[in-house]
Amino acid sequence: MRAMCARIRMVSNSDLKDILEISRQIWGNHDYLPSVIGDWLKDLNSYTCGVEVDKRLVAVYNLRLVEDGQTGWMEGLRVHREYRGKGFATALTEHVIQKAEKLGVQRLRYTTATANEASMKLAERFGFAITLEMSVFWHPNLKASPSPSDFPSIRRSDPGEIHKLLQSSLSVMPSRILFYDWKAVDCTLEGLKEVGKSREFHIALREGELTSLSYGGLRQGLEQSSWAFTIYAVDSTGFLAHIWHNIAEASRRGVSSITGTHEVNFEKALQRANWLSQEYWTMRMVLLEKILRQT
């Protein structure tokens, strides 16, 4: 850290005002940090640290132990706009890695948008590898309509059933990683149950085999709620059927804005879908991983 009088320390409730100030200028005031910081500070599995300059908190980072303490999930890295480019994110990342090493964590993980240059540079500097790339799209206003007749029928499911079906359906979700809300967990029964706390699962089968799967839930925004979902499928028909299905799920709840995460090979199918021709944005997200010690 180049700035004078800067020090890294743990964050406490007395920093909330400074954290809100950091968040206020991020992503058009749509940053999720204000809605989760209270939980992080109470959570025994979270280590929330930050950079203080002249008695003011100007940067924050959270390390959360998940998957029985084997994975250190890194999230919420933020540096106040006026303090960027001074190496604070670099220093905090280094600090968090050292903390994770002390805690005996096996691997560190985080997600970021590939367009986030600073975040990608940090990954490279500290030896994080890209484990998986996914696509994310957002649409502000989609209305449900009857689904095409060639779409497979989709029904509700649960973590136990999906876990069983996945044993014999190897081509659905070859990565065996569950993405949700810019987070990721391994697709174990525990991982499925974790996702199931905030998401509903839906599946389609062909001759008893799982051919597509999605899970969605409401994400409360400051101004607008959206239906956030993830899709895994063996083909684009199954993929599009789940998009359609999730639009209907959103509509059922009076929500028209949707955020979808999916495997990158379905980007073309999404672009070709004429019912999605209005303005929407799309980006790539990567899961970055650093192995600290072998199992």
Q: Contact residues for ligand COA (CB under 6 A)?
A: 26, 77-79, 84-90, 112, 116-119, 121-122, 125
CA gap 248, 143 in Å, rounded: 8
Least Å from the CB of residue 81 to ligand COA: 8
Whichever of 112 and 157 has its CB closer to ligand COA, that residue is: 112
Least Å from the CB of residue 258 to ligand COA: 22
Whichever of 112 and 246 has its CB closer to ligand COA, that residue is: 112
User: Minimal CA–CA distance to 101: which of 178, 41, 47, 50?
Assistant: 47
Whichever of 81 and 143 has its CB closer to ligand COA, that residue is: 81
User: Minimal CA–CA distance to 37: which of 73, 75, 7?
Assistant: 75
CA gap 245, 17 in Å, rounded: 41
User: Minimal CA–CA distance to 47: which of 57, 61, 30?
Assistant: 61
Whichever of 51 and 166 has its CB closer to ligand COA, that residue is: 51
Least Å from the CB of residue 219 to ligand COA: 17
The DSSP-derived string for 121-158 is HHHHHTT-EEEEEEEEEEES-----PPPTTSPP-EEE-
Least Å from the CB of residue 104 to ligand COA: 24
Whichever of 121 and 164 has its CB closer to ligand COA, that residue is: 121
CA atoms within a 13 Å half-sphere pointing along the CA-CB vector of 64: 19
67: left (phi over 0), alpha (psi -120 to 50) or beta: left
What angle do the packed helices 33-42 and 16-24 form, to 10 degrees? 150
Whichever of 28 and 85 has its CB closer to ligand COA, that residue is: 85
Least Å from the CB of residue 55 to ligand COA: 19
Least Å from the CB of residue 84 to ligand COA: 3
Contacts of 52 (CB under 8 A, 6+ apart): 6, 7, 8, 9, 58
What angle do the packed helices 88-103 and 117-125 form, to 10 degrees? 50
Whichever of 25 and 265 has its CB closer to ligand COA, that residue is: 25
CA gap 166, 176 in Å, rounded: 9
Least Å from the CB of residue 109 to ligand COA: 12
